[in-house]
């Protein structure tokens, strides 16, 4: 008995499934057959991995940490969202440079850490890495998919000389290489190859499994609509800032909801000036505007220190809620920010993703 995970998905022509046609085993026999259905189902469950973080730092930032100690300090960037179910690891890819000239003396590193359990992985950035040619680095980090919300923190350290810069970050679940018996967290169910053999058509139950699994994957593995993080070390120099005493529109983000998606979950990081008397963020969708629904507002605090737990706000906070959207329709999210008329408020991070449909 085996719940195999093939390396490729095999499109099966519909012409091979009709009344009075022979029931082929498929796959190993070279004919389209029952095993192709089984293996395609398992491929889907193992390989459909939505993007969690896709972020490029602006040229002035690039995760720049020149002047900081050669040991890790406060987090340089943080992303927070609901973990993707069914997987145990994220694959993290970054483009980075190092202005050092020797190795190992000038070697730096980038560390990623999960807020839920302090799992972490270090990516070495050699001192001989070119300053002008961005180099791709990759590593895997474990995570707990049972969390309702989890943060991914990025830390950077330099070598003896020079500075490490992170240009961009891409994070997605690592595809599975094996599947276990029983339902996955999402509700999808791997199929056993023993169910597909010569002259033995799949039962109605097994024919329905791929369709049900496909629907479970579509609902549960939602991609990210927004994965913005400023360089957290810059504290009072965020690229998204406002001194206005009334809400100022700072971003408009287009998106398209899939069938069944009617709510968006969100998480943000921000703070206001220590001398300021007010500072807030408001999120609202185009659908909420047409329905006359008020946006979700967050009052920012003056504190700003790693690990930024007290400066993180989300849809599940007391008094907060999800953002409503129109099912299977295009829309946009407006982001507003305000200070107190004199002193700034800063939006340091924003993450938005579709809530899993019921």
For the chain, domains (ranges, CATH) are: 14-48+178-220 (no CATH), 53-173 (2.60.120.260), 226-354 (2.60.120)
List own/partner pairs for 209-218 with CB under 8 A and 24 or more apart: 209/41, 210/37, 210/40, 210/41, 210/44, 212/187, 212/188, 213/41, 213/44, 213/45, 213/188, 213/189, 214/41, 214/44, 216/184, 216/186, 216/187, 216/188, 217/44, 217/45, 217/48, 217/186, 217/188, 218/258
Q: One digit per residue, pLDDT tens: the chain, 358 residues?
A: 478 888 888 888 777 767 777 677 777 666 787 788 888 899 999 999 999 999 998 877 665 555 467 889 899 999 999 999 999 999 999 999 998 888 899 999 999 999 988 789 999 999 988 777 789 999 999 999 999 999 999 999 999 988 899 999 999 999 999 999 999 999 999 988 777 666 667 778 888 888 899 999 999 999 999 999 999 988 888 889 999 999 999 999 999 999 999 999 999 999 999 999 999 999 999 999 999 999 999 999 999 998 899 899 999 998 899 999 999 999 999 999 999 999 999 999 999 999 998 7
Number of Cβ atoms within 10 Å of the Cβ of 7: 9
* pLDDT at 67 (0 to 100): 45
* pLDDT at 201 (0 to 100): 75
* pLDDT at 276 (0 to 100): 94
Q: Which two tokens stand for residue 275?
A: 């001398």
Per residue in 131-144, pLDDT (tens digit) is 777 899 999 999 99
* pLDDT at 24 (0 to 100): 72
* pLDDT at 196 (0 to 100): 63
């Amino acid at each position: 008995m085996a719940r195999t995970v093939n390396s490729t998905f095999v499109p099966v022509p519909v012409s091979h499934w009709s009344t009075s046609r022979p029931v082929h085993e498929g796959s190993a026999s070279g004919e389209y057959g029952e095993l192709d259905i089984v293996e395609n189902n398992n491929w889907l469950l193992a390989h459909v991995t939505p993007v969690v973080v896709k972020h490029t730092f602006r040229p002035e930032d690039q995760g720049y940490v020149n002047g900081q100690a050669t040991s890790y300090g406060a987090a340089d960037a943080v992303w927070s969202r609901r973990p993707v179910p069914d997987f145990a690891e994220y694959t993290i890819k970054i483009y980075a440079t190092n202005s050092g000239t020797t190795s190992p003396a000038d070697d730096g590193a980038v560390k990623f850490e999960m807020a839920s359990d302090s799992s972490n992985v270090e990516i070495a950035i050699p001192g001989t890495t070119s300053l002008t040619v961005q180099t791709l680095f990759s590593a895997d980090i474990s995570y707990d998919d049972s969390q309702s919300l989890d943060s991914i923190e990025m830390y950077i350290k330099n070598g003896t000389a020079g500075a490490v810069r992170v240009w961009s970050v891409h994070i997605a679940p690592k595809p599975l290489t094996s599947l276990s018996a029983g339902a996955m967290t999402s509700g999808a169910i791997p199929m056993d190859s023993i169910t597909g053999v010569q002259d033995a058509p799949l039962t109605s139950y097994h024919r329905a499994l791929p369709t049900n699994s496909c629907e479970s994957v579509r609902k549960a593995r939602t991609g990210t609509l927004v994965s913005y993080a400023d360089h957290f070390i810059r504290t009072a120099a965020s690229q998204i800032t406002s001194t206005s005493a009334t809400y100022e529109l700072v971003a408009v983000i287009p998106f398209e909801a899939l069938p069944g998606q009617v709510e968006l979950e969100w998480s943000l990081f921000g703070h206001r000036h220590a001398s300021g008397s007010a500072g807030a963020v408001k999120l609202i969708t185009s659908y909420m505007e047409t329905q006359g629904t008020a946006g979700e507002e967050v009052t920012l605090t003056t504190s700003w220190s790693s690990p930024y737990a007290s400066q993180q706000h989300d849809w599940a906070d007391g008094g907060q809620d999800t953002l409503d959207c129109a099912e299977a329709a295009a829309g946009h999210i407006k982001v507003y920010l305000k200070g107190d008329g004199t002193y700034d408020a800063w939006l340091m991070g924003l993450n938005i993703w579709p809530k899993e449909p019921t």
